[in-house]
């Protein structure tokens, strides 16, 4: 009784990928992937996703710490707002970013007026869009780890005279290391796949803002074979990500 | 332990929402019969009922919106559903089995692809469009002519080259012997226009009909006829149309004097 829907469920998730592999242009693959536009998009994607992950670590880890350790009224609301981009359609996020940080946006107009900086249609704009969408993945993962982490060691260090920063760097961070890594990988993967917020906020131009998902979307209308080849690259990346996370997820709840 | 499950659930939800960003047009249900279409059914209205799915180029948004209302009034029991997108995207959707009854493209190139694949036969050109420069009402970069778009520091949004508005804009630049490097290649003409409306770019090259439809939200700068380029709009009922009678009736309406007058009123040229 349960086996049938379970099997259908598995097939539903797996068959589309199989379909892609079956129709893949294996023979022309090396030619399709060696075209300069593909390599440009791939490099841009990896660079932007990595920069977005770095930005997420820089801002997201302190945020996760604050959410886990600071107990003030209203922190629950802050947590809800932080996770909002997880459930928000990315294109809505892109419009929100445009209206906040665009040339005419609430904050963006001052960036333009005071510093001459405009984010839309630039590579930093791609990083901003990706960080907006991906950072909550890191925050949620790290916050969970911080909540369940043993605090006795931290308190012991404090009584021995360690400063707050030393405790954070020497005790807390190592304790949540695995979660930090898993959160970063998730964040990076999400940033790499970002489409909606990027095309809305950062536009679409080869070499500047056209990341892999945008290139795939474009290619699908002119050269479906090329789109398929590009998709295979992202599928490979996704499988590598899954392999990196296997200890955490694939073995279910028994993993440490 | 349950933290991990929470994170997984959140991930699942996020992925699901990401996916819903993609548009999906509903399949037509030609089951609903025309309720008492006795008095109003003219000879052309006979047998026309149910949903007619029209895949139309983005630039036809306003004109086809009006035509659809008129058609529905003339054919009680029929519903027009318009799926607006770039003509190139629509051609791909039709090629992949999208439930379309009618295809109205903003260039013969995209229609020819569908015809070649056996999706349609004997398309008819029903309108023509030319390009215009759209700038924000404040005209921040003081654009006055096409040559201004090639200046350094001027932010220009254009359509993708495979999209008719992108291809036609490229012809304009070729005619003017200019090289314009845009900041973005937008997926269709309405998103190019939106970037201008939001004042995020200094200019966009769109159709004259888009500038007219945008009203006061953008300012139009005409391109001299000598450098301007045009694109023809073909329409066809599709071979595999789920609602074949409806498809033929809608195409006939667009080609009729009533359809033509809507198109002319919205700024389209005669084919």
List the single residue in B with minimal CA-CA distance to A139. B7
Confidence of residue B87 (pLDDT cuts 50, 70, 90): very high
Position A245 scores a pLDDT of 78
Report the percent of chain A where pLDDT is more than 70.
Answer: 96
Position B33 scores a pLDDT of 40
Measured CA to CA in angstroms, residue A245 lies from A86, A240, B2, B70, B163 at distances of: 19, 9, 17, 57, 40
Q: What is the pLDDT of residues B38-85, one digit of tens each?
A: 333 344 445 788 999 999 999 999 999 999 999 999 999 999 999 999
DSSP code of B28? P
Spatial distance between the Cα atoms of A138 and A53, rounded to a whole number of angstroms: 9
| Residues B89, A221: C-beta atoms closer than 8 Å | yes
Position B19 scores a pLDDT of 39
| Residues B200, A195: C-beta atoms closer than 8 Å | no
Greater confidence (B227 vs A38) lies with: B227
Asked whether the predicted pLDDT for residue B5 surpasses 50, the reply is no
Asked whether the predicted pLDDT for residue B26 surpasses 70, the reply is no
Position B211 scores a pLDDT of 96
Position A251 scores a pLDDT of 53
ipTM score assigned to the predicted complex: 0.70
Helix segments in B117-163, DSSP class H: none
CB distance A216 to A234 below 8 Å: yes
Residue located via tokens 């990083």: A127
The contacts of residue A96 (CB under 8 Å, 6+ apart) are none
B6 touches chain A (CB under 8 A): yes
Q: What is the pLDDT of residues B151-198, one digit of tens each?
A: 989 999 999 998 999 999 999 999 999 999 999 999 999 999 999 998
Asked whether the predicted pLDDT for residue B24 surpasses 50, the reply is no
Burial string for B69-81 (b: 16+ CB within 10 Å, else e) reads eebeebbbbbbbb
Instruction: Output the CA torsion B1→B2→B5→B10 (10° steps).
Output: -130
Closest partner CB to B3 (pick from A104, A148, A220) = A148
Q: What is the mean pLDDT of residues B76-98?
A: 90
Asked whether the predicted pLDDT for residue B18 surpasses 50, the reply is no
B10 touches chain A (CB under 8 A): yes
Position A248 scores a pLDDT of 60
Q: What is the pLDDT of residues B100-141, one digit of tens each?
A: 999 999 999 999 999 999 999 999 999 999 999 999 999 999
Q: What is the pLDDT of residues A11-63, one digit of tens each?
A: 999 998 888 888 888 887 888 777 777 888 989 999 999 999 999 999 999 99
Spatial distance between the Cα atoms of A11 and A1, rounded to a whole number of angstroms: 16
Spatial distance between the Cα atoms of A125 and A201, rounded to a whole number of angstroms: 7
Chains A, B: CB pairs < 8 Å: 95
CB distance B78 to B49 below 8 Å: yes
CB distance A141 to B11 below 8 Å: no
Asked whether the predicted pLDDT for residue B1 surpasses 60, the reply is no
Q: What is the pTM of this model?
A: 0.77
pLDDT digits (tens), chain A, 256 positions: 789 999 999 999 999 888 888 888 888 788 877 777 788 898 999 999 999 999 999 999 999 999 998 888 888 899 999 999 999 999 999 999 999 998 888 998 898 888 888 899 899 999 999 999 999 999 999 999 998 887 888 889 889 988 888 888 888 888 888 889 999 999 999 999 999 999 999 989 888 999 999 999 888 877 778 888 889 988 888 888 888 877 665 555 444 4
Spatial distance between the Cα atoms of A228 and A211, rounded to a whole number of angstroms: 15
Burial degree of B19 (CB within 10 A; 0-12, 13-18, 19+): exposed
- Segment 202-221 of chain A within 8 Å of chain B by CB: 203-206, 208-210, 217-218, 220-221
Q: Degrees (nearest 5) of the Cα angle B138, B140, B141?
A: 140
H helix count then E strand count, chain B: 9, 9
A254 touches chain B (CB under 8 A): no
Position B29 scores a pLDDT of 40
Position A247 scores a pLDDT of 64
CA distance to partner chain A, nearest, from residue B162 (Å) = 7
Tokens matching residue A238: 């996704």
Residue located via tokens 């945020």: A63
DSSP code of B183? S
């Amino acid at each position: 009784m349960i086996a049938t829907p379970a099997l259908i469920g598995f097939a539903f998730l797996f068959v589309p990928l199989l379909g892609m592999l079956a129709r893949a242009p294996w023979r022309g693959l090396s030619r399709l992937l060696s075209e300069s536009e593909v390599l440009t998009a791939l490099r841009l994607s990896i660079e932007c996703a990595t920069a977005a992950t770095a930005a997420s670590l820089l801002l997201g880890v302190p945020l996760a710490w604050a959410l886990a350790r600071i107990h003030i009224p209203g922190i629950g609301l802050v947590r809800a707002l932080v996770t909002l981009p997880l459930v928000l359609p990315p294109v809505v996020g892109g419009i929100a970013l445009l209206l906040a940080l665009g040339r005419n946006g609430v904050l963006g107009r001052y960036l333009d007026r005071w510093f001459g900086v405009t984010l839309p249609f630039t590579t930093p704009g791609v990083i901003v869009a990706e960080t907006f969408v991906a950072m909550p993945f890191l925050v949620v993962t790290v916050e969970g780890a911080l909540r369940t982490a043993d605090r006795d060691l931290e308190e012991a260090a404090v009584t021995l005279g360690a400063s707050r920063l030393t405790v954070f760097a020497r005790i807390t961070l190592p304790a949540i290391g695995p979660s930090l890594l898993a959160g970063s990988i998730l964040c990076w993967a999400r940033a790499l796949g970002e489409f909606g917020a990027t095309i809305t906020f950062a536009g679409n131009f080869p070499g500047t803002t056209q990341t892999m998902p945008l290139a795939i979307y474009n290619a699908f209308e002119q050269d479906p074979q090329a789109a398929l080849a590009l998709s295979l690259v992202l599928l490979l990346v996704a499988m590598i990500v899954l392999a990196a996370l296997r200890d955490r997820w694939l073995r279910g709840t028994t993993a440490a | 332990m349950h933290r991990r499950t929470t994170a997984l659930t959140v991930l699942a939800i996020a992925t699901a929402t990401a996916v819903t960003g993609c548009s999906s047009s509903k399949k037509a249900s030609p089951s609903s019969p025309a309720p008492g279409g006795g008095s109003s059914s003219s000879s052309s209205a006979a047998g026309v009922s149910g949903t007619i799915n029209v895949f139309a180029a983005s630039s036809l948004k306003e004109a086809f919106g009006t035509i659809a209302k008129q058609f529905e009034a003339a054919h009680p029991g029929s519903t027009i559903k318009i799926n607006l997108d770039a003509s190139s995207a629509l051609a791909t959707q039709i090629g992949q089995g999208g439930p379309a009854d009618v295809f109205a493209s903003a260039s013969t190139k995209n229609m020819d692809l569908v015809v070649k694949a056996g999706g349609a036969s004997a398309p008819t050109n029903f309108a023509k469009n030319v390009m215009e420069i759209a700038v924000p009402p404040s005209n921040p970069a003081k654009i006055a002519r096409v040559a201004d778009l090639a200046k350094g520091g001027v932010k220009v949004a254009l359509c993708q080259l495979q999209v008719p508005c992108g291809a036609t804009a490229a012809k304009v630049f070729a005619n003017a012997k200019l090289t314009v490097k845009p900041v973005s290649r937008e997926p269709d003409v309405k998103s190019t226009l939106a970037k201008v409306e939001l004042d995020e770019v200094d200019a966009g090259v769109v159709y004259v009909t888009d500038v007219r439809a945008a009203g006061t939200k953008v300012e139009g700068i005409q391109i001299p006829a000598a450098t301007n380029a045009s694109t023809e709009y073909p329409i066809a009922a599709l071979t595999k149309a789920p609602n074949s009678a409806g498809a033929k009736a809608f195409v006939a309406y667009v080609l009729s004097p009533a359809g033509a007058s809507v198109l002319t009123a919205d700024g389209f040229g005669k084919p």
